[in-house]
Structure 1
Amino acid sequence: MRADRRERSVFLGLLPWPERVQVARALRTETVGGLVLLAAAVVALVWANTPWSTAYEGVRDFHLGIPVLGLDLSVGHWTAEGLLAVFFLVAGIELKRELVVGELRAPRTAVLPVVAAVCGMAVPAALYLATTALGGGSPQGWAVPMATDIAFALAVLAVLSTHLPSALRAFLLTLAVVDDLGAILIIAIFFTADLNPVALAGALVGLFLFHLLQRFRVRGWWWYVPLGVAIWALMYNGGVHATVAGVAMGLILRATGDEGEDMSPGERTEHLLRPVSAGVAVPLFALFAAGVGVSAAAVGEVFTRPEPLAVVLGLVVGKAAGIFAGTYLAARFTRARLNPDLAWADVFALAVLAGIGFTVALLIGELAFPDPARAEHIKAAVLLGSLIAAALAAVLIRRRNGIYRGLWEAEIRDDDADGVPDVHQLTGPGRGRAGGED
């Protein structure tokens, strides 16, 4: 029995030092990006609900064309199709790293976050379909409540938690990577326009050349930037959402460095582009996607129309139920187990927090509902559902944070009383939480 217990992997245990460094680095940047994203969303909502709303619509709908690439898009579409490609490029690099050197490289450590993420996508989609079926609504928005916005979620954690275990935050990052992969596949498979085989073939040739450049260790941005822009333009003209090009290139970039390399190409690219993604690309997308009219009538329509109501239920109820149930069942019926220092209440608080769906949810909403009037209702539902999930998660996280703070203070008192450092003070829930040092 003891040997069997030793073989079982520890879920949400202490991460190896290299992964802890990566997590801390990502948390710092994503937290700041989440706050910038929140500010952009607030500006959009305020701007769209003032007498200057026509100016907002004018800027959003203003067209900019690049004839040589065969593109003529509005500013809003440029942010959704162009800038978000940078966001998905970083997501692709994160996914590649997790698959090669991170928690997803070993099936025993990957099973819990993967199952949790899959259930966290499947249950909201099923709840959406059930709600719209009962209410006589359209099923085409089934994918809207499936996505978690990692930047917003980490920003909430940063504001509310000082003593929560860092392993919970690491799990949220891993969960979000798998969640992003699911969103990418959904966009690529279910939300494609009329396909242009010639353009798609050109994009595939470009990706193959990108792979060859990596394989033969060719360095220099002057090779990759023009090729990446060409791949992105061909993917767009091929009828596939152009953000797919970003994640494809991210997956191709090497995640491990050769001898003598300080950083791998993926790490270097992420180091350069993550601030652009978190501080520019995603906030600008939010600025032109979150500008919806807010009124008592609009809020009432969210709860009376089947499609927006299904989105709210999917984000608030479906996400929490799916992630928590998936995690519990995977831990119950596999060899993985929960860290003894943690409680299932921590996992539930994290599952509720994952109901914050913003960037990708708004993007899928625009793709699923091309009609602007219906898209406005879906956007309002995404914003309202995310706000409700954030408020509920805030209550739960503050409660769990208070419990861990009490444990940490008790350990400090015990240490002061006997003069011997307690092992939990060095490795337990309270160590280094306030500054994110671990």
Structure 2
Amino acid sequence: MTQPTPHHPYDDVARLDPRPDAHPEGRGLAHRLGNLLRSESSGGLLLILGAVIAIVWANTPAAAAYFDLRDLHVALPLGFTTIDLSLGHWAADGLLAVFFFIVGVELKEEFVVGELRSPRKALTPVAAAFGGVAVPALIFVAINAGAHADTLRGWAIPTATDIAFAVAILAVVGKWLPSPLRLFLLTLAVVDDLIAIVIIAIFYANDLSPAWLALALLPAAAFGLLVQLAPDFFRAHRWAPWLILLPLGFATWVCVYESGIHATIAGVVLGFLVPAKRRRGEPGEGLAQALDHRIGPLSAGFCVPVFAFFSAGVAMGGFEGMRAALGDPVVWGIVLGLVFGKPLGILAATWLVTRTPAAELDPRIKWGELLGVGILGGIGFTVALLVAELSYGQGNAHDDHAKIAILVASVLAALLAAAWLAPANRRYKAEALAERSAAQGSGAAAAGAEDASR
């Protein structure tokens, strides 16, 4: 992975294709579009646009058309099994697995050759993730302890951060912030989503199938063996990942889905199997960078926005619906858990673990900016919506109220984080532009002196 500059880590539009001859002058529209989508701010804007369209549509007189589209079932007969999912679930379980694959690849790079290769640095966001899971859950339980016993089933709803939304918001409002902040958010969001998926598997999965889970090891092992033995082949031949690796990845996804575990975990596992280091003497970038470069635009430009469109459509129910929701302790448990519990848990765990010799916080991360990242952790969509449905059942009043609470809390967390991080982002931008101007001035002066000497 190309290491970003300290002051503008998201300026990755011009990130190069791993092949040295991949960018001749005059490359076509597809090349320019791909470069645009590799910018996280562009992908973030598409994601936000998809979510806004869904929210507006779901609360208009034409809302029935939106929900009919989201709930339209599409069956995929595979011979040995048939996967029959609504379009909404295809987006959440299928398309989002592509995004999780990219996340897994990026994290693998950071753990192996990047800034998280130091165990002391890697431990800090991992510990923060556990704090960001525990505190919101405790807040939810405290608020709902005196209510009906059924409400406590939703204790895990505020535990997970939506990676796609949180990283997208940071890309839009914090483009000039130090790169370790983005990496910290990405790591803790992945870890707390994995924790939430484990919680689902233990507390909410009624039909966990060890046989399917064991079967998933076969295509995953084949995928891992091929990328380890022939990384240069898959890097050099653009067709090879699509014709060889994609079927193995899809087979892994099918088996994980049938096992009862949230299928997006397959994406993370496969991403971690991709080698991050180049072989000695291997030219250009490694396979991880090549796959990130080729699949990233598909994830940012299609998979994540479509997921946002199908996941964000929540019917508020007008004034009466909102009044009923405000009287439900489930709503307050979720909102307070996400908006206040997440930053509290993340900062407390970070402070505690960095007081020990086992962990350290990157010196470029300031505590005030880390608070902004902690607030971003309160954006909960994907897994939160899934847990709400598993907790109360689709159509249940608590389920509807929980989805409204997730939406409100996520929007509130995004706005608070944007307001908190904006001043720091402006400061870093001014510093970066001043440094760039000074460097250009020094270069021009040196060139003039050289001309004069001639």
1:249 and 2:238 matched:
no
Write the letter of the residue equivalent to 1:138: T
Alpha-carbon shift at residue 343 of structure 1 (Å): 4.6
For 1:224 and 1:404, how far apart are their aligned partners in 2? 41
1:274 and 2:296 matched:
yes
Deviations 1:28-83 (A, max 9, x none): 63322221111111111111112211211221121111222411222122112211
Alpha-carbon shift at residue 158 of structure 1 (Å): 4.4
| Map of 2:355 onto structure 1 | 332
Kept in 2, the 8 Å contact 1:235–1:245? The answer is yes
Kept in 2, the 8 Å contact 1:23–1:170? The answer is no
| Map of 1:48 onto structure 2 | 58
Match of 1:345 among 368, 385, 399: 368
Q: Which moved more, 1:27-36 or 1:384-393?
A: 27-36
Alpha-carbon shift at residue 149 of structure 1 (Å): 2.9
Alpha-carbon shift at residue 157 of structure 1 (Å): 3.7
| Map of 1:18 onto structure 2 | 3
| Map of 2:315 onto structure 1 | 293
Other structure's SS at 1:50 match: coil
Deviations 1:122-162 (A, max 9, x none): 21122122222133352232222222234433444444447
| Map of 2:328 onto structure 1 | 305
Alpha-carbon shift at residue 204 of structure 1 (Å): 1.8
Write the letter of the residue equivalent to 2:258: N
Compared CA separation, residues 397 and 268, structure 1 to 2 (3 A): same
Compared CA separation, residues 252 and 192, structure 1 to 2 (3 A): farther
Match of 2:127 among 111, 115, 126: 115
> TM-score if structure 2 supplies the norm length?
0.78
Q: How does 1:29-428 map to 2 (within 5 A)?
A: 29-68=39-78, 69-136=81-148, 138-161=151-174, 164-217=177-230, 219=234, 220-221=240-241, 222-259=243-280, 260-294=282-316, 295-334=318-357, 343-373=366-396, 374-401=398-425
Other structure's SS at 2:74 match: strand
Other structure's SS at 1:65 match: strand
Aligned length: 403
Alpha-carbon shift at residue 190 of structure 1 (Å): 4.1
Write the letter of the residue equivalent to 1:243: T
Q: Which moved more, 1:318-327 or 1:155-164?
A: 155-164
Other structure's SS at 2:275 match: coil
For 1:91 and 1:343, how far apart are their aligned partners in 2? 24
Deviations 1:346-365 (A, max 9, x none): 22222223222223333333
Compared CA separation, residues 35 and 318, structure 1 to 2 (3 A): same
- Percentage identity across aligned positions? 45
Compared CA separation, residues 375 and 84, structure 1 to 2 (3 A): farther
Kept in 1, the 8 Å contact 2:139–2:336? The answer is yes
Other structure's SS at 1:194 match: coil
Other structure's SS at 2:85 match: strand
Q: Which moved more, 1:160-169 or 1:212-221?
A: 160-169
Compared CA separation, residues 203 and 288, structure 1 to 2 (3 A): same
For 1:72 and 1:396, how far apart are their aligned partners in 2? 43
Q: Which moved more, 1:256-265 or 1:340-349?
A: 340-349
Other structure's SS at 1:332 match: coil
Other structure's SS at 2:208 match: coil
Compared CA separation, residues 29 and 181, structure 1 to 2 (3 A): farther
Compared CA separation, residues 367 and 248, structure 1 to 2 (3 A): farther
Alpha-carbon shift at residue 250 of structure 1 (Å): 1.4
Deviations 1:244-301 (A, max 9, x none): 2222211212122223253333322222222222222222222222211122233333
Kept in 2, the 8 Å contact 1:193–1:240? The answer is no
| Map of 1:434 onto structure 2 | none
For 1:229 and 1:286, how far apart are their aligned partners in 2? 22
Write the letter of the residue equivalent to 1:18: Q
For 1:17 and 1:288, how far apart are their aligned partners in 2? 33
Write the letter of the residue equivalent to 2:226: L
For 1:162 and 1:278, how far apart are their aligned partners in 2? 16
For 1:82 and 1:346, how far apart are their aligned partners in 2? 34
Compared CA separation, residues 376 and 262, structure 1 to 2 (3 A): farther
RMSD: 3.4
Q: Which moved more, 1:241-250 or 1:218-227?
A: 218-227
Other structure's SS at 2:314 match: coil
Q: Which moved more, 1:273-282 or 1:209-218?
A: 209-218
> TM-score if structure 1 supplies the norm length?
0.80
For 1:124 and 1:244, how far apart are their aligned partners in 2? 23
For 1:278 and 1:124, how far apart are their aligned partners in 2? 29
Alpha-carbon shift at residue 391 of structure 1 (Å): 2.2
Kept in 2, the 8 Å contact 1:29–1:274? The answer is no
For 1:164 and 1:290, how far apart are their aligned partners in 2? 28
Other structure's SS at 2:353 match: helix
Alpha-carbon shift at residue 314 of structure 1 (Å): 0.9
Alpha-carbon shift at residue 310 of structure 1 (Å): 1.0
Other structure's SS at 1:395 match: helix
Compared CA separation, residues 309 and 108, structure 1 to 2 (3 A): same
Any unmatched runs of 5+ in structure 2? 14-36, 235-239, 444-454
Write the letter of the residue equivalent to 1:298: G
Alpha-carbon shift at residue 23 of structure 1 (Å): 5.3
Write the letter of the residue equivalent to 1:293: A
Alpha-carbon shift at residue 342 of structure 1 (Å): 6.5
